[in-house]
Amino acid sequence: MNAVERLRRDHTILRAKLSVLEGALTMGSETWFVLREICHALSRQLQDHIKREEELVTACKEALPDDVLAHLTVGHKDEPALLRTINRLFIEEQGHSLASIRPSLTRLILGLRGHMDEEEAELFPAIEGVLSDHEAAEVQEPLPPVRLREEMTVNHVLHTYPQTKPLLERLFINVPYEGYDCLDEVAWRRGMDCCQFIGLLEEAISVAYHCDEIVAA
């Protein structure tokens, strides 16, 4: 998965969250806590996506049109700010009424969808036009000094390191349902930082490895 493909996958995840938000909004105040949790997770996911996107844009900034960069900057300020406002409203609203929150949520859904559509139509093709295959590999996120990476799927990790199965079970990860999801998505779904989740997996692998060494000795 190269850098632009990763951003497109982020958009797929974000659009799925927006669809859930949109559906929950039609169901009334009984979905208050669902909406609140989704917005909290969406805020973290959006920040992670923006960080990845800005790192990639910085790597090929000189070759990108000024208008594309300017539009990107505006979107990266407005949408996180709107989400912060929405999350604050969820805390301040004591009556669980959606009246004060619905307009902001609707604006977020429409705005973020439109922004992602524009990026896929203008920004991503522009970046792909700048990068050769070799350059695309160079500007991908630097791999951490660990065995696992956040874009790996649960099935891949479990197949390669079966000793992670007890941990996945303790975290109530449904492998038949979530096996094709990437580690960062599974972590987001549980309110965990992806680095924390990977750290737990790494620890489980290391502990099992050392136990095997002791038994062999």
Pick 143 or 203 by higher pLDDT: 203
Integer Cα distance of 9 and 200 in angstroms: 24
Integer Cα distance of 114 and 194 in angstroms: 27
Integer Cα distance of 2 and 131 in angstroms: 11
> In one letter, which amino acid is 165?
K
pTM of structure:
0.62
Q: Which of 22-26, 107-111, 127-131, 138-142 has the highest mean pLDDT?
A: 107-111
CB 57 within 8 A of CB 127: yes
**Which residue has 């996120």 as its token pair?**
141
Residue 60 has pLDDT above 90, yes or no: no
Integer Cα distance of 82 and 88 in angstroms: 10
DSSP H or E stretch at residue 98: none
Residue 5: per-residue pLDDT = 83
Integer Cα distance of 102 and 126 in angstroms: 35
